[in-house]
Amino acid sequence: MALQSKERYEPRKIERLIEHLRLYSERAQPIDYEIVVDGFKVVRRTSDLAMFSLFESFVDADTKSMEVLLYTGTSNNNDKRIFYFGDMPKEGLSGLDIDARIDEQVQRKLKERESDTLRQQNEELRLEVRELEKDIEQLQKQKADLEASQSPLKGFLGEIGSSFVESFIRRNPNIVRGIPGGEALAGLIENDNRRKAEEPEEDAAVSFQPGTGGQVTNSEDQAAITFVSQLKAQFNRDEFDKLLIILQALADDKSKIPFVLSQLNVKQP
């Protein structure tokens, strides 16, 4: 691989170079050389040391550089010595500098691509979150609708029990009056039944319709819950379950109500 050196021109450096060529020539190993001044070949390839000083005729105040090429044997391989007469030019990019810049550009492109990928993934995740929020909102609405369709008695009696007990006490408010705590509820039921008869189109506002989240929304709901709480307090679990069965039987066959009242010796109003 050819060597290349760059340095400022000094007469002593040229004299040292000539001395180097003379030593090899004296040992019968002459070195071919060539001299170029500002790109002009002033001494063509030769080993004659007497030709070396010809370059001085081409050097003046405007001369910028002189190159001395030292050949290896008879080949064209050579080492180049460059001497500058004025300010030495700034070094250009070396192979390492070029590799570093290429690597820098590659890394920058990779980061840009990674950023674009992350930005796209982030947008996709945002869309998924919006869809999930819509699904959650829909599920919450469905839950609210389901809770709104349930009787306030369900929390005390269960799905089946609340259904037929509510039906029974609505149809038979007089019987409810005879049970502890049932007086207020019976009055509310009679008023509600009367209103229903007068305004059948208002069925959506029945007294037993609960509010959202299982909270009490009107006085009838509260009265119903209070009544059932007091009713449950009068019986143990087994007795209460049997009471529900009796109420269901009376709701299915109301003709048996007088018989039950007579057996219980309950005075009817």
Radius of gyration of the chain (CA): 56
Core vs surface per residue 108-140: b (16+ CB within 10 A) or e = eeeeeeeeeeeeeeeeeeeeeeeeeeeeeeeee
Q: What is the mean pLDDT of residues 74-89?
A: 90
Out of 84, 102, 125, pick the residue that ends a domain: 84
Q: Read out DSSP for 131-154? A: HHHHHHHHHHHHHHHHHHTS-TTH
269 domain residue, yes or no:
no
Tell me which amino acid residue 122 is.
N
> Do residues 148 and 142 lie in contact, with contact meaning Cβ atoms separated by under 8 Å?
no
Please check whether residues 127 and 175 belong to one and the same domain. no
Please check whether residues 164 and 249 belong to one and the same domain. yes
Please check whether residues 109 and 60 belong to one and the same domain. no
Q: How many CA atoms lie within 13 A of 167 on its CB side?
A: 15
Angstrom distance (rounded) from CA 87 to CA 92: 15
Please check whether residues 214 and 260 belong to one and the same domain. yes
132 domain residue, yes or no:
yes
Burial of residue 102, with CB atoms counted within 10 A of its CB: 0-12 exposed, 13-18 middle, 19 or more buried: exposed
114 domain residue, yes or no:
yes
Angstrom distance (rounded) from CA 99 to CA 176: 96
3-state helix, strand, coil in the chain (%, to 5): 65, 10, 25
pLDDT digits (tens, 9 = 90+) for 95-141: 555 766 787 788 888 888 888 889 889 899 999 999 999 999 989 88
Please check whether residues 57 and 136 belong to one and the same domain. no
List C-alpha distances in Å: 265 to 132, 235, 254, 258, 268: 61, 20, 17, 10, 9
Give the pairing type, strands 65-71 and 78-84: antiparallel
pTM for the whole thing? Answer: 0.35
pLDDT digits (tens, 9 = 90+) for 173-203: 666 666 655 666 666 667 767 776 766 554 4
Please check whether residues 162 and 180 belong to one and the same domain. yes
Please check whether residues 105 and 68 belong to one and the same domain. no
Please check whether residues 158 and 253 belong to one and the same domain. yes
> Do residues 240 and 233 lie in contact, with contact meaning Cβ atoms separated by under 8 Å?
no
Contacts of 5 (CB under 8 A, 6+ apart): 79, 80, 81, 82
CA angle 25, 30, 36 (to 5 degrees): 110
pLDDT digits (tens, 9 = 90+) for 2-34: 678 899 999 999 999 999 999 999 999 999 999
Tell me which amino acid residue 249 is.
A
Out of 103, 122, 149, pick the residue that ends a domain: 149
Please check whether residues 107 and 47 belong to one and the same domain. no
Judged by DSSP in three states, 240 sits in: helix
Judged by DSSP in three states, 80 sits in: strand
Which pLDDT value is given to residue 3?
A: 76
Please check whether residues 161 and 222 belong to one and the same domain. yes
Q: What is the DSSP letter of 45?
A: E
Q: Which domain holds residue 80?
A: 4-84
26 domain residue, yes or no:
yes
State both tokens at 72. Answer: 């290896």
User: Quick one: CA torsion of 35, 40, 45, 49, rounded to 10 degrees?
Assistant: -40
Please check whether residues 162 and 239 belong to one and the same domain. yes
Which pLDDT value is given to residue 194?
A: 73
Out of 36, 63, 84, pick the residue that ends a domain: 84
Number of structural domains in the chain = 3
Which pLDDT value is given to residue 213?
A: 43
Please check whether residues 62 and 9 belong to one and the same domain. yes
